[in-house]
Structure 1
């Protein structure tokens, strides 16, 4: 197989991995919100969320994570000169952060399976946006490579993160106002 075949496979599994990273915390939000329902509704929803979370983790997120890393590693093996590029080193640092996010998501999943809901719905909504920040950082870094001005990139990423967090809080306030009406 050629470098481009491995690149295509890497992209496919990165997309799949991110799909899981976006959806799992959203399931956590719904699962947490379900704890406020009546007994019958809560039990039905909890059973379904546990089933969906298990399937998402085992059938999509974990395989996609490892296959992304495998095909990315093969590409680096085929083109080791990328490892000496600043943008690739920074990308790998973001990937390490993404892996930390992935395994922290597993920690939350294990807690929820034990019926421990440590985070509020709002905290989980904010947590859900962390993957978006990683996605933007990694994609812009890979596409722009050496043409990226690192300082402006970091400033843009911080502004983007603040915007997302503010939007989540604003949506929460709007929902609270509607529920009081």
Structure 2
């Protein structure tokens, strides 16, 4: 079970690396689009970086979910499984991870908008949105470590 937890944490780190950097790319992309000297090649380069980062980030998300579920299912006894599912903090953690998965999907939609030259959001908007995964990360770590309920 500890090996599963370790691999789960490795995938969480990979997922969050992408979640933190993808909106940053949107900030830079928005800045570049505002420049009159922006070329089609530069726009295409941003789109490639966003697409590739999203792919790597998706691998992190899938691994996070797979090894998180495997960790829960690997409990030794029915009592341990019942104990896990009765913990309120775990329910909140799962809800936050579901919300983060939705945010992950929103990143894909946003990258497609950039690729289609359809971005309508400001650089400031992406700077603010960039804080969402950090807030969720803080909440999840506090829940897992303190298990408040």
State the TM-score, normalizing by the size of structure 1. 0.75
Deviation at 1:54, TM superposition (A): 1.2
Tell me the equivalent position of 2:78.
none
Tell me the equivalent position of 2:40.
43
Deviation at 1:43, TM superposition (A): 3.0
Tell me the equivalent position of 2:141.
139
Q: Could you tell me how far apart the structure 2 residues matched to 1:42 and 1:125 are?
A: 23
Deviation at 1:38, TM superposition (A): 2.5
**2:53 pairs with 46, 52, 56, which one?**
56
Q: Could you tell me how far apart the structure 2 residues matched to 1:51 and 1:106 are?
A: 13
Deviation at 1:120, TM superposition (A): 0.6
Tell me the equivalent position of 1:29.
27
Deviation at 1:45, TM superposition (A): 2.8
Deviation at 1:68, TM superposition (A): 0.4
1:11-160 counterparts in 2 under 5 A? 11-39=9-37, 41-58=38-55, 60-79=56-75, 80=81, 81-146=83-148
Paired residues of 1:21 and 1:61 also in contact (CA < 8 A): yes
Moved over 6 A (4+): none
Q: What SS does the corresponding residue of 1:38 show, helix, strand or coil?
A: coil
Q: CA RMSD in A?
A: 1.3
Deviations 1:76-115 (A, max 9, x none): 1113231210110111111111111111111111111111
Number of residue equivalences: 143
Q: Could you tell me how far apart the structure 2 residues matched to 1:119 and 1:38 are?
A: 18
More relative contact order in 1 or in 2 (CA 8 Å, sep 6+)?
2
| Structure 1 gaps, min length 5 | 149-181
| Structure 2 gaps, min length 5 | 76-80
State the TM-score, normalizing by the size of structure 2. 0.91
Q: Could you tell me how far apart the structure 1 residues matched to 2:134 and 2:42 are?
A: 27
